[in-house]
Amino acid sequence: MIEKTAKPFLRWAGSKKKLLPILNSYWNNADRYIEPFVGSARFFFHLNPQSAILGDINLDLINCYNVVKTKPLELYKKLELIPRDKDTYYSVRNSDEKAMSHVDQAARFIYLNRLCFNGLYRTNQQGKFNVPFGGIKAGNFPTKEDYLHLSDKLKGVKILNLDFEKLIISNVKKGDFIYLDPPYAVKNKRIFKQYDPTNFGTEDLERLFSLLDYINSKNAKFLLSYAFCEELEEQASKWNSEVVTTQRNIAGFASKRKKEKEFIISNI
């Protein structure tokens, strides 16, 4: 393990910042770390493992990681040229990212992420980002030094744009540590963690549960964090589990933010 860790460059609904002490207690200094729902990679950057695979089905998100890894200075310079105000935000949001270079796409993604409402990633049916402006004070942008540090931490990391099941089945091996933090899909409850038009839903839970058995059969370790709900009760009783309390920071108004329970499930 390298002592100096890096901070995530994205704001992300569902960030595990407040759960890090609990998650960290499960870390076993594995040969390799795998995270198929990467989000802001909060746990990865906290652990700073020597070998890792990071993945997500969201292509725009994965492009960001690749650009931060390979072209941090170019990305930083692009972001410094974009004014940080409401009118520019909507102009950038309405721009056509398909005509942009990978670096410009990453700059657009990070710009919108830092200034949007509560760090949400939400798209409409056409796949267009539609989160409103959150204010200038929504979040500080990473510095040049931050990007260089992040790039250094991502060296040697395999970054993949894959469905979580395909990523695990094609890569997992004995001794791996897999952290699973999918978007929380709970019946009859709306949770604002919409990452992609092909977003993780309740219909994907059975695939996730089967994957836990598969990982275990490969003599690898998994750690799953998920909303406290009846859909997870059977898995919680099947594996080692605990229920923890955390504060959700995606309601938008401090008065409406509340503490909720989450399952932590593992074979460790």
Instruction: Let me know if residue 38 belongs to a domain.
Output: yes
Instruction: Let me know if residue 162 belongs to a domain.
Output: yes
Half-sphere exposure of 196 (CA within 13 A, CB side): 18
Instruction: Let me know if residue 217 belongs to a domain.
Output: yes
Instruction: Let me know if residue 166 belongs to a domain.
Output: yes
Beta-strand (E) ranges in 57-212? 158-161, 176-180
Instruction: Let me know if residue 3 belongs to a domain.
Output: no
Dihedral class, residue 128 (left if φ above 0, else alpha if ψ from -120 to 50, else beta) = beta
Q: Say how many domains are in the chain.
A: 1
Report CA-CA distances (Å) from 203 to 58, 196, 198: 18, 15, 12
Which structural domain, as residue segments, surrounds residue 254? 17-59+157-266
- H-helix or E-strand spanning residue 245: strand 240-247
Q: Give the CATH number, domain containing residue 216.
A: 3.40.50.150
Query: Coil, helix or strand for 22?
Result: helix
pLDDT per residue of the chain (268 residues) written in tens, 0 to 9: 445 778 999 998 777 888 999 999 999 999 999 999 999 999 999 999 999 999 999 999 999 999 999 999 999 999 999 999 999 999 999 999 999 999 999 999 999 999 998 888 888 878 889 999 998 776 689 999 999 999 999 999 999 999 999 999 999 999 999 999 998 876 655 444 444 556 777 788 999 999 999 999 999 999 999 999 999 999 999 999 999 998 765 545 555 567 889 999 999 9
Nearest-5° Cα angle at 37, 126 to 61: 50
Query: Distance between CA atoms of 138 and 87, rounded to whole angstroms?
Result: 15
Instruction: Let me know if residue 232 belongs to a domain.
Output: yes
Query: Distance between CA atoms of 246 and 156, rounded to whole angstroms?
Result: 33
Handedness of CA 69, 73, 74, 77 (dihedral sign): positive
Instruction: Let me know if residue 182 belongs to a domain.
Output: yes
- H-helix or E-strand spanning residue 35: strand 32-35
